[in-house]
Amino acid sequence: MWAASNRHYRPMIKTTPLDVDFYYNYVSYHKKVDFVVQTDDDLIYIQVALSVRDEETLKRELKPLNDINDHYPKYLITMDYDNNNYNGIKQISAMDFLTGKINL
C-alpha cells in the first residue's frame, strides 16, 4: 500500500474480488480527488460530477486531476453523454461505464 506524508485517503473497500483497493476523498498535495483505485502496480484517479457542460464546473472538476503530476490514468465520469479528452484526462459517460461499454 502506498502512503506519504503529503497524501491522505480514506479506505473505502479493501481486498475486493477484483484484487484492487478503492479510496475516496483522496488528497494529494492538498488536491482532493473523488476516488483512487489501486492495483498492485497501478493507480487510477477518478473525478465524478453530475454534469460538466457548464464551463466553471468543468474547470473545477478538472483542476485536481490536472494538478497531479504523474503518469497514471485520470478519468472524469459524468452523466453527460460526452466522451472527451482534456489534456489526457478522459471524460466518460457514467452510463457507458456502468453498463460495461467503457472500461477503465
Is residue 104 domain-resident?
no
DSSP assignment letter at 29 = T
Separation between Cα atoms, residue 45 and residue 90, nearest integer Å = 11
Is residue 2 domain-resident?
no
Mind listing the pLDDT tens digit for each residue in 43-96?
889 999 999 999 999 999 999 999 888 899 999 999 999 899 999 999 999 999
DSSP 31-70: EEEEEEEE-SS-EEEEEEES---SHHHHHHHHHHHHT--S
The amino acid sitting at 34 is D
pLDDT of amino acid 80: 96
User: What is the count of structural domains for the chain?
Assistant: 1
pLDDT of amino acid 33: 85
SS3 89: strand
User: Who has greater pLDDT, 38 or 58?
Assistant: 58
Is residue 38 domain-resident?
yes
Domain holding 75, by residue range, is 7-98
Is residue 91 domain-resident?
yes
pLDDT score of 6 more than 70:
no
- Biggest CA pair distance of the chain: 38
**CATH code, domain carrying 67:** 3.40.1350
